[in-house]
């Protein structure tokens, strides 16, 4: 039985407001999950919670998305990484 799940969502909190790729280095992992089905669409400036009626995690400041092949069977992987503002507030103007 194959336990590979092709969709991954990883959420990090930035230590400083996002201005360029160097700001991603000090980010802290908040949550990560895998799924057999795609996650929702995300946009910079959108707030995100850990589920309906749950804890507000923060405001999305930056998004990276990777699509590629991994593993011995060359399976497709879709990895979405969300970076939240350090204070949970609105995105900073760059």
**Tens digits of residue pLDDT in 26-66:** 899 999 999 989 988 999 999 888 776 677 888 999 999 98
90 in a domain, yes or no? Answer: no
73 in a domain, yes or no? Answer: yes
The residue count of the chain comes to: 94
Task: State the Cα–Cα distance between residues 55 and 80, nearest whole angstrom.
Answer: 20
Per the CB < 8 A criterion, the answer to whether 27 and 18 are in contact is no
Question: CA 63, 69, 70, 73 torsion: positive or negative?
Answer: positive
93 in a domain, yes or no? Answer: no
Task: State the Cα–Cα distance between residues 47 and 77, nearest whole angstrom.
Answer: 25
Upper half-sphere CA count for residue 46 (Cβ side, 13 Å): 11
Query: Residue 73's domain spans which residues?
Result: 7-84
Instruction: Look at the block and give the residue holding tokens 């990560």.
Output: 32
pTM listed for this prediction: 0.81
2 in a domain, yes or no? Answer: no
> In total, how many domains does the chain have?
1
30 in a domain, yes or no? Answer: yes
């Amino acid at each position: 039985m194959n336990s590979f799940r092709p969709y991954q969502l990883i959420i990090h909190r930035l230590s400083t407001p996002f201005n360029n790729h160097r700001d991603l280095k000090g980010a802290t992992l908040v949550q990560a999950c895998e799924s057999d089905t795609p996650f929702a669409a995300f946009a910079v400036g959108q707030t995100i919670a850990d589920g309906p009626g749950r804890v507000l995690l923060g405001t999305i400041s930056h998004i990276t998305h990777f699509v590629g092949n991994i593993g011995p069977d060359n399976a497709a992987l879709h990895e979405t990484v969300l970076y939240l503002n350090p204070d949970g507030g609105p995105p900073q103007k760059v």
